[in-house]
Structure 1
Amino acid sequence: MTALRKTTLALTPEAAPFAIRAEKASDVAAREALLDACFGANRHARTCQRLRDGRAPAEGLSLLAVSQGRLVGTVRLWHVSAGGIPALMLGPLAVEASSRQLGVGAALMDHALAAAKARGHRAVILLGDAPYYARFGFSAAKTGELSLPGAFERDRLLGLEFCEGALDGARGMIVPTGARLPKTRAVRARKAKALLLPRVA
């Protein structure tokens, strides 16, 4: 019997199972299909979607994970006011089911947070599972007095400060402050989403 030999593989960018890059206009259909697969067709009714509808994501903070030319993950950040305090809202973070063991979600988070910090943003808020996002520094320590425009679970509203004290005194409603999409773009986006929804006979 031949003994199995352990080898260590150094993942260079060429050998890596996926790469992180900025989102492009041509990625819209693939991104929407991935989001539908991850969250279901009713994802547009979710509370946080109200902070994104008709708004552009924060500049430079729409990232994708691509494997062999195929989109396998996505994350975006959006400008909001957290009870009068400027912040970013992260989401949705989505990873294709077959790629979830590759560390795609963590890589997208690391890249997105590093990019947000480099651009001078002071804080990020999200709605998600505390045990997962705690590894990136998120907690509910300063979000207890904040609200969202719809139903949400209090312990899932989490915040991360890049600058100490950035969320001090944050209370009240989280509202969108990002640039509004031109009407034609917003209508086109809604039509694209409609085309991607499964047809029911």
Structure 2
Amino acid sequence: MPPTEAFQEFHRNLEYARDLVNGGRRLEQLKVGAFDIGDIYRAAWVQAVAALDHWVHQEIYSRAVRLAQQPGVERPDRFNRLQIPMELFERIHHHEASLGEAFREHLEATLGYVSYQNPDRIQQGFSHVSKVKLWPKVAKVLTEQRADGRQITGETVVRKLKAITARRNRIAHESDRDPAAPTGRRSITAAEVADTISWLEMTAAAILVALDES
């Protein structure tokens, strides 16, 4: 299936993070020493995780609206337990707003505050729109896509996502400080960030496959 509109935006946001990495590499080649080039790589890391967070939100909203517009379709329990205020019903009943428009606004208001960076939260978010056991299925998809035949488990995917998010939090909230390091900050390289960006993109693509095959 073609990538969703939300995934296409996710790809564009990751390209911005890749542009930051490439810019940092060029500055390293020029031996710029006026500032820590690692901060460019840290910004790219934060950008990549933010892109994932934003994509998960948009993907949930779009799929939930699609479910709401298909009467009689079997829906996940979490979707059926969504609380719909009387105001939303009245807006739709009196034809002041379409179901898709009003329901999406409601989802954005109720789920918009949730941070979809931690794998547990991501799995919980997608359980609104799918019954799939997310991370085992994602691991299966990633394993099938590998050329070396190496087995990837759901635990591996979860562990790596948690590590990426933890590093993002250290960058955003602790300036990536490491008192034991010579510079007082954890080291970071262009290759490390580029690999992280690519892995997030592959994982998100595998999530799409998992959701569409469920």
TM-score range, shorter chain: under 0.3
The structure with the greater share of residues assigned to helix is 2
TM-score, normalization by structure 2: 0.26
The structure with the greater share of residues assigned to strand is 1
